[in-house]
Every structure is written in structure tokens, then in C-alpha cells.
């Protein structure tokens, strides 16, 4: 994953998912965005042509389709280029280490990053994750195992976890 901001979007497309429309966008270095329409921190209108045949958009769409069909067997290998600070990049990288069908707590993630007192900062970085589903921020739960925060909405978070076989108390 890149540690710098994408200089510009190269291509974008809108795809249908079981949880609503998702905007995918690529830079010259990889997939920089995968946002559910209407989610918090969605960048809004992007200055990029609609090119659904761009190879990385095709790859991301295919990998997401496999995820929706069989979450426990799916893998994301599309090159990634999310824009964020060094700390956000570290958090997003750590999120990718959470296995499908498992969850971590915010505090556990902060400890993994050797920043045990940075739980709130970790939560803020998770909330800014520009690669929904692909960088699995939905797999992070509150300290007591409760369903908390998700920029795409708690209904989507619950649906993603259910699809992965994770049972979370309502």
C-alpha cells in the first residue's frame, strides 16, 4: 500500500453488491477507493472517467463477487493505493491481517500496532478506511465484543460479519 496521496484518479466505476452500490476508483498505482454509496467519508464526485474495463477495476469487481459468493474462500490480491497518513496506513495494513471469519477488538489492534494507548486514534483511522470490505474494518468490534461503528452503517457491518459466520450480539 502506498504511503502517499494519489495524485489523481485514473478510472472509476459503480458496481452493484448485495449491500448496495459501491464506487470503485483506481490511481496509477492501484485501487484507491471502494466506498458504499452514502457511507461516511465517501469522497463524493470523483474527477475520473467511468472506465469499468480498467484491469484493476475488473479485478476488484471479480474479487468482490467471489467474496459475496463465498466469503471464507475469497482473497483480495488487487494492488492497493489508499491515501492516508503513515498511522492510517499502519492501521489499514494491520486490518488486512485479521482472518476472514474472525474479529479483533479496537484495543487488540492498538496493541498489535504497539500503540496500546491509541485506541481512539485507531478507531478514527479505521473510520477513514477508503477500501470497504477489501480492507476489512468490519471485523473490528468494541471492547466488550459489541457491534460498534462502521462508516458503511451497522446494518452492513452486521451483514458482512454474518456472511463470514461471525455471530455478534445485537
User: Which residues are annotated as catalytic?
Assistant: 137
Burial (CB < 10 A; 0-12, 13-18, 19+), residue 117, is exposed
Helix (H, G, I), strand (E, B) or coil at 157: helix
CA atoms of 68 and 51, how far apart (whole Å)? 22
CA atoms of 138 and 103, how far apart (whole Å)? 8
Helix (H, G, I), strand (E, B) or coil at 120: helix
Chain centroid to CA 121: 17
> Which residues, at least 6 apart from 100, have a Cβ–Cβ distance to it below 8 Å?
71, 72, 74, 136, 164
Amino acid at each position: 500500500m502506498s504511503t502517499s496521496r494519489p495524485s489523481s484518479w485514473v478510472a472509476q466505476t459503480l458496481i452493484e453488491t448485495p449491500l448496495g452500490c459501491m464506487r470503485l476508483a483506481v490511481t496509477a498505482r492501484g485501487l484507491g477507493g471502494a466506498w458504499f454509496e452514502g457511507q461516511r467519508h465517501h469522497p463524493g464526485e470523483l474527477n475520473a472517467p467511468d472506465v469499468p474495463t480498467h484491469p484493476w477495476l475488473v479485478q476488484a469487481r471479480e474479487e468482490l463477487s467471489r467474496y459475496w459468493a463465498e466469503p471464507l474462500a475469497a482473497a483480495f490480491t488487487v494492488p492497493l493505493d489508499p491515501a492516508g497518513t503513515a498511522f492510517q496506513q499502519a492501521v489499514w495494513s494491520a486490518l488486512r491481517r485479521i482472518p476472514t471469519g474472525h474479529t479483533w477488538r479496537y484495543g487488540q489492534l492498538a496493541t498489535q500496532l504497539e500503540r496500546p494507548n491509541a485506541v481512539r486514534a485507531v478507531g478514527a483511522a479505521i473510520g477513514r478506511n477508503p477500501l470497504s470490505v477489501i480492507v476489512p474494518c468490519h471485523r473490528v468490534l468494541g471492547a466488550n465484543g459489541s457491534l460498534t461503528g462502521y462508516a458503511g452503517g451497522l446494518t452492513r457491518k452486521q451483514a458482512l460479519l454474518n456472511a463470514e459466520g461471525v455471530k455478534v450480539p445485537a
